[in-house]
Amino acid sequence: MADLVTPRTLSGFRDYLPSVMLAREEVLRRAREVYRSYGFTPIDTPACESLDVLLGKGGDESDKLVYRVLSARGDKAEMGLRFDLTVPFARFSAQYINELGTPFKRYAMGPVWRGERPGQGRYREFWQCDFDTIGTTSNAADAETALVINDLFTAIGFDKFEIRINNRMVLNGFLEAFGCSEQSVVILRALDKLPKIGEAAVLQEMVAQGVLEGLGTLVLKIAATSGTNDAILKMLDESLDASGLELQALKNEQISAGKLLLEAGTKRLRELLAIAKTAGVPDGRIKIDLSICRGLDYYTGTIYETFLTDLPGIGSVCSGGRYDNLASKYTKQVLPGVGASLGVDRLIAAMEELKHPLITKQSTPASVLVVNFDPARLGDYQRVARLLRAAGVNVEVYPDAKKVGQQLGYAEKRGFAFAVIAGPAEFEAGVWKVKDLAKREEKAVPESELVATVKPAA
Amino acid sequence: MADLVTPRTLSGFRDYLPSVMLAREEVLRRAREVYRSYGFTPIDTPACESLDVLLGKGGDESDKLVYRVLSARGDKAEMGLRFDLTVPFARFSAQYINELGTPFKRYAMGPVWRGERPGQGRYREFWQCDFDTIGTTSNAADAETALVINDLFTAIGFDKFEIRINNRMVLNGFLEAFGCSEQSVVILRALDKLPKIGEAAVLQEMVAQGVLEGLGTLVLKIAATSGTNDAILKMLDESLDASGLELQALKNEQISAGKLLLEAGTKRLRELLAIAKTAGVPDGRIKIDLSICRGLDYYTGTIYETFLTDLPGIGSVCSGGRYDNLASKYTKQVLPGVGASLGVDRLIAAMEELKHPLITKQSTPASVLVVNFDPARLGDYQRVARLLRAAGVNVEVYPDAKKVGQQLGYAEKRGFAFAVIAGPAEFEAGVWKVKDLAKREEKAVPESELVATVKPAA
């Protein structure tokens, strides 16, 4: 016999065993339903893209994470594995938007790959689940994005979660008025790390990048604004007129440009909240948080993060924002849009920790096991199984005529609710024995009552 | 502005646009439901596997098709993209079978990659959708595999299809009796090409590989056996005793070994058909075809292929078989099993050609468009949209307050069934205008009747 190859996954990669996979399929199914209920349509793009499509122009951070794929002959590395679903969507949009028309709403679900150092809950292959509306600057789409997130987590079975929103125009309005809009990228990238590294380290990073310490302190003060949504909006309405802020503005036109930006951002936040309220999103579900800004440079408007109230430390489980132009790398056509991405793997890790009802020990999607008592009766076992299946009950027929006790042990280990048994006596009497595995009760029922007997657990 | 990168997919790769993707999602959803209804449980494995897990020992054909993936640093090619779902499942089984227990029934859906020359309907990335039962040699699992295929195609909406079955023990029984069992691999590989290249070329290939021409002719004669299932079974019962066959047997023990094999294969075919009949599979759905054998070496028992009656030329759309040992490369534990794989992309290509009802011009999963007549009413538009969503109706709210005609044009192009419109007059009167886009009829209904008005099309 040849040497055995040790069966294993590569570092940073993992398998989904049945019970976790059943939960993942259910999460994706519910996400799909919610996305579709808003008219988002599914698309799919290949895992492999041309490297020039995938890579940035100047050694971006993300470029280092891209896995290169050799041609099958092994002589060329001209393609790579996608590291998110946004870049392929940008390429896709540029390619088909004239055919598809705008607005265009799509969702996409699938694995992405990043050559990062694996760690607790961080994998090199993981699932994303994005939805985006492109081809419109309307705030209707921004408001809808928050509604989708609300309905998504509700559909997955959460009631304790908070959607935190911000608008980059607010922070950028301040920075413009302060005369330092050119430092916006550096400042927002540093601010995005706030929950991970804390205020002192954020300030240190800003200063190290050339931001004046007073300015950094001011940004952190704005980010730390707390209070009700109304109180924060009121503060934003008044902030630039208020004397309390130490404006370092150099020119008046910068102040007024900044003010316009700030006003526009504040208006959109206020409108989003009003639409959500009228549409029936529970009070307190959406919360303005001026500290959230996402690290990605392309966001320009509304920002979203989603936190589970019982497990905030795991971070945002659904994040996104508005961008001015999705596909400028591939087309001159301007494609503004807004969207968010559900972090499927992080969410499932959270669900495991929170003992969410979708995470069970059950490792089968079936609720009924038909015991193989007499292999000569396999046709009848499958006949009755198909009868139950037609009624929406998932049924497994045990393949081997092992001892009944062994088959029942298998059923209990997998998490079946019922075992159905028929041997010569039952066939003679025209009944099926139904064993409730949790209650450890058994009764004989005629075939006509079988569906009604086992259906409640299906 | 930097030079634009041309948006495109690589040769052999493709995008799924909304209308095809809607069909693919529906096919996968129905497949998932059928697999689950038999107790198959979902698992998932990474796209990337270690090369030693993926590659055969001796330059197999499939090895040449494997895409190598470089580590993100670009210095090592130690992993590759899976080329099917069977090898990862073999590795998975070896790794977890003691934890999972047997029998173990799983399904898996996902893309696989092969560095082949792309052609009509042949892609370098395509989807597979497998189900397998491992850890049992029972013919119950073989019969069930045929039932699953039957229910799968029925669920997808086909009624004109045929499941062709064979058993390698039948052909191998003949070859054993003929004293040439060691040529089985060569003979079956050639025979598998019969529908593509025809009898003469198959015979030529056999002879080129050292098979005696008389033997090749005899194999082709057996493969060409036609008639009812009963007639073929009867022929198999009698064949080795009949004088009609020109046995080239060298030794009596080979004849009796071959006969045992042939009898065992015939018995399993007969039993499979009997179980399927009792279980309610329509007559004529499953057909013995002694010419089908699959090209893969690891099959040892029942063989399945599935043909669409109206489009047989596209080839088998669901194929599989029984194997003696799935994971011998990774474990000493013997894992026999049986399964099949739905060729998702080929099936969808066939559905497009056959104008299957799941293939529509609709490019949205929503049936109702709420027209954005007055952007100040977006909260109400979303409120009523959520009301419809809660009743299971998928609803899109148009984001921009464009001219109503433009919004209706969008709705018609995408394939919405209804447009719902409310402006000041409707809000005043407490009604919603519902426009049936196909019938070009319009009526005003109170909000309480909105669900009932649009629900039938959902």
Average pLDDT over residues B151-164: 97
Greatest CA separation found in chain A?
97
Q: For residue A270, count CB atoms less than 10 angstroms from its CB and return exposed for 0-12, middle for 13-18, buried for 19 or more.
A: middle
3 state SS of B163: strand
Average pLDDT over residues B161-176: 95
Tokens standing for residue B343:
């060729």
Angle, vertex CA B239, rays to CA B234 and CA B242, nearest 5: 115
Residues of B in contact with A14 (CB under 8 A): 46
Cβ of B74 under 8 Å from any chain A Cβ?
yes
Helix B139-156 and helix A378-390, axial crossing angle in degrees, nearest 10: 30
User: Which chain A residues in 102-121 lie under 8 Å from chain B, judged by CB atoms?
Assistant: 103, 105-106, 111, 113-116
Nearest-neighbour CA in chain B from A15: distance (Å): 5
For B297, list phi and psi in degrees, rounded to 5: -70, -25
Cβ of B7 under 8 Å from any chain A Cβ?
yes
Is residue A375 reached through a cis peptide bond, with omega within 30 degrees of 0 on the bond before it? no
Give the HSE-up count for residue B129: Cα atoms under 13 Å, Cβ half-sphere: 25
3 state SS of A107: strand
Buried b (16+ CB within 10 A) or exposed e, A4-37: ebebbbbebbbbbbbbbbbbbbebeebbbbbbbb
Contact B40 A397 (CB under 8 A): no
- Distance separating alpha carbons of residues A263 and A312, to the nearest angstrom: 30
Our CA dihedral for B389, B392, B394, B396, rounded to 10 degrees, sits at -10
User: Which chain B residues in 371-410 lie under 8 Å from chain A, judged by CB atoms?
Assistant: 372, 375, 378-380, 382-383, 385-386, 389, 393-401, 410
Cβ of A50 under 8 Å from any chain B Cβ?
yes
Chain mean position to CA B29: 12
Cβ of B59 under 8 Å from any chain A Cβ?
no
- Distance separating alpha carbons of residues B293 and B300, to the nearest angstrom: 10
Contact A13 B372 (CB under 8 A): no
Contacts 24+ apart (CB under 8 A), A256-263: A257/A176, A257/A177, A258/A173, A258/A174, A258/A175, A258/A176, A258/A177, A258/A178, A258/A181, A259/A173, A259/A177, A260/A173, A261/A169, A261/A170, A261/A172, A261/A173, A261/A176, A262/A169, A262/A170, A262/A173, A262/A174, A262/A177, A262/A236, A263/A173
Nearest-neighbour CA in chain A from B267: distance (Å): 13
Q: What single string gives the DSSP state of each residue in B28-52?
A: HHHHHHHHHHTT-EE-B--SEEEHH
Q: What is the DSSP letter of A91?
A: H
Tokens standing for residue A274:
């009003």
Contact A214, A248 (CB under 8 A): yes
Tokens standing for residue A10:
């590569």
Given this model, what pLDDT does residue A244 score? Answer: 43
Contact B395 A15 (CB under 8 A): no
Which residue in B96, B140, B364 is closest to A39 by CB distance? Answer: B364
Contact B138 A375 (CB under 8 A): yes
Given this model, what pLDDT does residue B255 score? Answer: 80
- Distance separating alpha carbons of residues A415 and A50, to the nearest angstrom: 46
Given this model, what pLDDT does residue A33 score? Answer: 97
Q: Which residues of chain A are under the pLDDT cut of 50?
A: 58, 243-244, 246, 248-249
Cβ of B331 under 8 Å from any chain A Cβ?
yes
- Distance separating alpha carbons of residues A236 and A298, to the nearest angstrom: 24
Contact A363 B81 (CB under 8 A): no
Total-model pTM: 0.94
Q: Which amino acid, residue A204? A: Q
Nearest-neighbour CA in chain B from A129: distance (Å): 15
Cβ of A418 under 8 Å from any chain B Cβ?
no
Cβ of A363 under 8 Å from any chain B Cβ?
yes
Q: Which amino acid, residue A334? A: V
- Distance separating alpha carbons of residues A148 and A30, to the nearest angstrom: 12
Contact B363 A6 (CB under 8 A): no
Average pLDDT over residues B297-320: 94
Give the HSE-up count for residue B195: Cα atoms under 13 Å, Cβ half-sphere: 15
Q: Which of A373, A426, A423, A415 is nearest to A398 (CA)?
A: A373
What Cα–Cα distance (Å) separates residue A443 from each residue in A163, A418, B149?
50, 11, 33
Contact B40, B100 (CB under 8 A): no
Average pLDDT over residues B337-361: 93
Which residue in B5, B47, B386 is closest to A280 by CB distance? Answer: B386
Nearest-neighbour CA in chain A from B205: distance (Å): 27
Residues of B in contact with A396 (CB under 8 A): 38-39, 105
Domains and CATH numbers, chain B: 161-308 (3.30.930.10), 368-457 (3.40.50.800)
Average pLDDT over residues B139-154: 98
- Distance separating alpha carbons of residues B267 and B233, to the nearest angstrom: 9
User: Which chain B residues in 180-219 lie under 8 Å from chain A, judged by CB atoms?
Assistant: none
Which residue in B43, B65, B279 is closest to A72 by CB distance? Answer: B65
- Ranges of beta strands (E only) in B270-352 are 286-288, 299-308, 318-323, 337-343
More confident residue, B322 or A1: B322
**pLDDT (tens digit, 9 = 90+) per residue, A132-167?**
999 999 999 999 999 999 999 999 999 999 999 999
Q: What is the DSSP letter of B218?
A: H
Mutate to test the interface with B, among A33, A37, A57 (most CBs of B within 10 A): A37
Contact A49 B9 (CB under 8 A): yes
Contact B277 A369 (CB under 8 A): no
The strand pair at B125-134 and B286-288 is best described as unpaired
Residues of B in contact with A408 (CB under 8 A): none
Given this model, what pLDDT does residue A296 score? Answer: 77
Q: Which residues are CB-neighbours of A30 under 8 A, at least 6 positions away?
A: A152, A155, A156
CB contacts < 8 A (A, B) = 347
Q: Which residues are CB-neighbours of A375 under 8 A, at least 6 positions away?
A: A401, B138, B140
Nearest-neighbour CA in chain A from B365: distance (Å): 6
Instruction: Judge whether residue B249 has pLDDT over 50.
Output: no
Tokens standing for residue B220:
């082709």
Mutate to test the interface with A, among B34, B50, B114, B374 (most CBs of A within 10 A): B50
Q: What is the CA radius of gyration of chain B?
A: 28
Q: For residue A367, count CB atoms less than 10 angstroms from its CB and return exposed for 0-12, middle for 13-18, buried for 19 or more.
A: buried
Contact A151 B21 (CB under 8 A): no
Average pLDDT over residues B38-53: 96
The strand pair at A161-167 and A299-308 is best described as antiparallel
- Distance separating alpha carbons of residues A173 and A42, to the nearest angstrom: 36
Q: Which of A314, A318, A319 is nearest to A353 (CA)?
A: A314
Residue corresponding to tokens 């994040």: A319
Tokens standing for residue B6:
């041309």
Which residue in B94, B101, B363 is closest to A410 by CB distance? Answer: B101
- Distance separating alpha carbons of residues A306 and A269, to the nearest angstrom: 16
- Distance separating alpha carbons of residues A15 and B44, to the nearest angstrom: 6
Residues of A in contact with B74 (CB under 8 A): 68, 77
What Cα–Cα distance (Å) separates residue A454 from each residue in A324, A445, B136, B148?
55, 11, 27, 22
Residue of B nearest to A58 (CA): B2
Q: How confident is the model at residue B241 (pLDDT cuts 50, 70, 90)?
A: low
Cβ of B76 under 8 Å from any chain A Cβ?
no
Cβ of A60 under 8 Å from any chain B Cβ?
no
Q: Which residues are CB-neighbours of A449 under 8 A, at least 6 positions away?
A: none
Residue of B nearest to A123 (CA): B46
Given this model, what pLDDT does residue A257 score? Answer: 86
- Ranges of beta strands (E only) in A93-245 are 104-113, 125-134, 161-167
Q: Helix and strand tally (H, E) in chain A? A: 15, 16
Given this model, what pLDDT does residue B251 score? Answer: 58
Given this model, what pLDDT does residue B198 score? Answer: 94
Given this model, what pLDDT does residue B318 score? Answer: 97
Mean residue pLDDT of chain A comes to: 92
Which residue in B77, B113, B278 is closest to A379 by CB distance? Answer: B278
Contact B330 A45 (CB under 8 A): no
- Sign of dihedral through CA atoms A176, A181, A185, A188? negative
Q: Which of A160, A162, A215 is nearest to A186 (CA)?
A: A215
Name the region of B423 (left: φ>0; alpha: ψ -120 to 50; beta: rest).
beta
Q: For residue A101, count CB atoms less than 10 angstroms from its CB and return exposed for 0-12, middle for 13-18, buried for 19 or more.
A: middle
Residue of B nearest to A331 (CA): B4
Contact B408, B371 (CB under 8 A): yes
Contact B348, B27 (CB under 8 A): yes
Contact B143 A382 (CB under 8 A): yes
Chain mean position to CA B350: 12
Buried b (16+ CB within 10 A) or exposed e, B187-210: bbbbbbebeeeebeebbebbeeee
What Cα–Cα distance (Å) separates residue B367 from each residue in A36, A126, B20, B397, B443?
10, 32, 17, 11, 17
